[in-house]
Chains A and B, each alone.
Chain A
């Protein structure tokens, strides 16, 4: 029982898809491989499917040149034990209630009655998750989440009232583009556009946990929207440029911690130091800044100037705090 098994593999999946039809043709084979396969699969896979000198024998050539499957039926999609164990494990995750009602959960639980969960929540411990996570058991939260998710699927125009991060009451008509989950915050948010007179006014993010009222206006936002445009509207104008030194295993620690960012790295062959350009959401700049500061002198923020300046101001303030503490200590000792 191992997820690294050919039965889950891309080649098996493509073969299964092609075997769904009694008859197919070479063009369909190549197109399916191109669409569903790895980048180079079209160089390797079609000859395994199309009868020839090296094929697997899953199809035979018909009188009209068509490809006929050797099986009698379309393949069935049997769940493996591992997949069922994984599903069973998810039943004990409170977030499943965001997607299924209690009756459905009970039904699935009954269906998987003889299956052991692959793991239980007690097998894992998240060491550094924030304490104020969303309340997945709260009925109001669940209802708001489901409304928001439905709106994402339908691209409905929603009237939403929520409390902003600064504690202000905000309301308006929004179109929700996508849901985002952060394992660090253990919170869901929705990417959205604020609408004024049915036109996009600005981009934003709404924490599902901060929504106080959400209702479908019954209208659909039909203007095509691009997520790329949405993200571009929030992206920093110039990347953070970071010099990462080799001390205290800095390169490995930094590169791993910032692995989730889009980045460009250049290594100095003499010193082994890296210069990393990181692109970030400009609304997350403070979060980025404090994470960079946590590396201390192992890294240096080279730019952009305003980010370096913010770091400098915090460091100077810190140095002053330590100096005054030293003075206090020295003065106290003299007394």
Chain B
């Protein structure tokens, strides 16, 4: 394939493709209708190259279907990290990287002119000062090189913090890196340190491992900065359908960022934020977000944050509901049947999974969970894990109770209950 490169410039585009392959499976070329055949082919080849062993192909009516099938609880390293290790660069970038590091390796501080002269005289590499200056500036920002002004002149030296020396000095750091590089919260950064030192995780597996989250980590540094600096941030959001159509610009949002919310059971992560335009809190899915940019300082940040801290304690998951925080919704009460003697584990489950709700014994083998939360609807996905034990549901919204009732009726028909046979 002429012109194909393993490396990429645009992370967002690749993020869309990997997500489609990974989440949906069953993708054939015609599903990616906004793309040329060549783009699809290139993206697929790249993903194959990174994730080789985990790609799976099936023949379908409309062509070969591609998906990534990973038993992610039993892998030592997230294969999607490779997307981050594929950034394209110029010949000058890589040459200057190793040359400048070499020049500064003796620990001496040097001026731009010194460095450029050494490159020209001792390495026979002709670079103009501007090119070297730009690279030095970039590396100062990355923290690889330190700059110090002496009089009117800037002196550059190499940072003394070396990964291999850290590993020798701090006992247990290797195991720390092995674990945290696979646990969530920007594990990719820990993995990059391991890789520098030629190490790999050979100790830990992660159960309930949503490896796809790493693709959203690209957004996190900017969001975290926004929170730290108490700034507004802006970003674009895409609906579930449009997220796969990168030609769509999406909707522009300006918010005050509060926290990153993580669901370890549904595989979703969100940014909880205050939306000044509608004067309410909301949660935005990270996998539907792109192009995060920091904005102005928010003068009222602490006031908004205090309000958020009050409100978040009444979220069962991530939903702030559709009412103002002063409004009222009747607390929802769900009563479960539990035989404490023969099935104490059910009671243990309720206790450990009830989150912000309260649980009390309300009768023989009956336990009632009270949920005074903004959005009772959010509880039901969890409550349905107790199907077979839900004696009654009270309060909350009528629609929620009615939906549960009709769901059970539909499931009864679906799985062929005896009554169903009579009806037929």
A322 adjacent to chain B (CB < 8 Å): yes
Q: Which B residues between 106 and 147 are near A, CB-CB below 8 angstroms?
A: 123, 125, 141-144
B412 adjacent to chain A (CB < 8 Å): yes
Q: List 16 A-B contacts (CB under 8 A).
A: A40-B49, A57-B91, A57-B95, A75-B101, A80-B144, A86-B189, A95-B180, A180-B73, A181-B207, A252-B23, A255-B25, A260-B70, A266-B58, A290-B385, A293-B384, A319-B409
A297 adjacent to chain B (CB < 8 Å): yes
Report the stretch among A21-29, A126-134, A214-222 that lies at the interface. Answer: A126-134
From residue B100, how far is it (CB to closest CB) to chain A in Å? 10
Residue of A nearest to B176 (CB): A99
Chain B CB within 10 A, most for which of A81, A93, A296 = A296
Residues A3 and B408 in contact, CB atoms below 8 Å apart: no
Please, what's the 1-or-0 string for A202-220, where 1 marks a CB less than 8 Å from any CB in chain B? Answer: 0000000000000000000
Residues of A within 8 A of B162 (CB): 76-79
Residues B163 and A79 in contact, CB atoms below 8 Å apart: yes
Excluding A8-B87, A127-B355, A291-B385, 17 further A-B contacts by CB distance (< 8 Å) are A2-B221, A5-B87, A6-B87, A8-B195, A16-B98, A78-B144, A82-B142, A83-B163, A131-B352, A178-B203, A179-B205, A183-B184, A252-B23, A255-B25, A256-B266, A265-B26, A321-B388
Residues B387 and A260 in contact, CB atoms below 8 Å apart: no
Closest 10 CB pairs of A and B: A81-B143, A314-B388, A262-B71, A265-B25, A6-B89, A100-B172, A290-B385, A297-B410, A71-B102, A182-B207
A4 to B88, CA, bound (A): 10
Residues of A within 8 A of B351 (CB): 131-132
B317 adjacent to chain A (CB < 8 Å): yes
Residues of A within 8 A of B315 (CB): 127
Residues B143 and A82 in contact, CB atoms below 8 Å apart: yes
Residues B217 and A95 in contact, CB atoms below 8 Å apart: no
B45 adjacent to chain A (CB < 8 Å): yes
A152 to B220, CA, bound (A): 34
Residues B82 and A71 in contact, CB atoms below 8 Å apart: no
B60 adjacent to chain A (CB < 8 Å): yes
Residue of B nearest to A183 (CB): B264
A311 to B412, CA, bound (A): 10
Residues A127 and B317 in contact, CB atoms below 8 Å apart: yes
From residue A58, how far is it (CB to closest CB) to chain B in Å? 6
B256 adjacent to chain A (CB < 8 Å): no
A294 adjacent to chain B (CB < 8 Å): yes
B105 adjacent to chain A (CB < 8 Å): yes
Residues B408 and A322 in contact, CB atoms below 8 Å apart: yes
Please, what's the 1-or-0 string for A128-142, where 1 marks a CB less than 8 Å from any CB in chain B? Answer: 111110000000000
Please, what's the 1-or-0 string for A256-295, where 1 marks a CB less than 8 Å from any CB in chain B? Answer: 1101111111110100001010010000000000110111
> Size band of the A side of the interface?
35 or more
A44 adjacent to chain B (CB < 8 Å): yes
A80 to B140, CA, bound (A): 10
Q: Which A residues between 29 and 53 are near B, CB-CB below 8 angstroms?
A: 38-41, 44
Residues of A within 8 A of B264 (CB): 126, 128-129, 183-184
Residues of A within 8 A of B58 (CB): 264, 266
Q: Which B residues between 222 and 281 are near A, CB-CB below 8 angstroms?
A: 224, 227-228, 240, 259-268, 272
Residue of B nearest to A255 (CB): B23
A122 to B305, CA, bound (A): 12
Residues A260 and B210 in contact, CB atoms below 8 Å apart: yes
B397 adjacent to chain A (CB < 8 Å): no
A192 to B351, CA, bound (A): 29
Residues B49 and A8 in contact, CB atoms below 8 Å apart: no
From residue B284, how far is it (CB to closest CB) to chain A in Å? 14
Residues A12 and B97 in contact, CB atoms below 8 Å apart: yes
Residues A308 and B204 in contact, CB atoms below 8 Å apart: no
Chain A CB within 10 A, most for which of B88, B196, B198 = B196
Partner of A108, one of B71, B170, B265: B170
A84 adjacent to chain B (CB < 8 Å): yes
Query: A78 with B161: in contact, given A19-B98, A149-B175 (CB under 8 Å)?
Result: yes
Residue of A nearest to B52 (CB): A39
From residue B26, how far is it (CB to closest CB) to chain A in Å? 4
Residues of B within 8 A of A81 (CB): 141-143
A124 to B23, CA, bound (A): 24
Residues B22 and A259 in contact, CB atoms below 8 Å apart: yes
Query: A262 with B260: in contact, given A40-B45, A182-B207 (CB under 8 Å)?
Result: no
Residues of B within 8 A of A185 (CB): 207-208
Residues of B within 8 A of A184 (CB): 207-208, 264-265
Partner of B240, one of A101, A249, A300, A313: A249
A125 adjacent to chain B (CB < 8 Å): yes
Residues of B within 8 A of A116 (CB): 228
B151 adjacent to chain A (CB < 8 Å): no
A225 to B259, CA, bound (A): 44
Report the stretch among B33-41, B295-303, B413-421 that lies at the interface. Answer: B413-421
Q: Which B residues between 160 and 203 are near A, CB-CB below 8 angstroms?
A: 161-164, 166, 169-173, 175-176, 179-180, 183-186, 188-190, 192-193, 195-198, 203
Chain A CB within 10 A, most for which of B141, B212, B414, B418 = B414
Residue of A nearest to B5 (CB): A44
A10 adjacent to chain B (CB < 8 Å): yes
Residues B405 and A73 in contact, CB atoms below 8 Å apart: no
Please, what's the 1-or-0 string for B369-389, where 1 marks a CB less than 8 Å from any CB in chain A? Answer: 000000000000110111111
Residue of A nearest to B222 (CB): A2
Query: A15 with B98: in contact, given A6-B93, A82-B142, A181-B204 (CB under 8 Å)?
Result: yes
Residues of B within 8 A of A314 (CB): 387-388
Residues of B within 8 A of A266 (CB): 26, 58, 60
Q: Which A residues between 278 and 335 are near B, CB-CB below 8 angstroms?
A: 279, 290-291, 293-297, 300-301, 308, 311-319, 321-322, 325
From residue A255, how far is it (CB to closest CB) to chain B in Å? 5
B16 adjacent to chain A (CB < 8 Å): no
Q: Which B residues between 31 and 62 are near A, CB-CB below 8 angstroms?
A: 45, 48-50, 52, 56, 58, 60-62
Query: A321 with B390: in contact, given A184-B207, A260-B73, A264-B69 (CB under 8 Å)?
Result: yes
Residues B263 and A127 in contact, CB atoms below 8 Å apart: yes
A13 to B85, CA, bound (A): 9
A70 adjacent to chain B (CB < 8 Å): yes
A249 to B102, CA, bound (A): 55
Query: A118 with B186: in contact, given A180-B206, A297-B407, A314-B388 (CB under 8 Å)?
Result: yes
Residue of A nearest to B14 (CB): A4
A263 to B123, CA, bound (A): 54
B2 adjacent to chain A (CB < 8 Å): no
Chain B CB within 10 A, most for which of A17, A153, A180, A183 = A183
Residues B196 and A77 in contact, CB atoms below 8 Å apart: yes
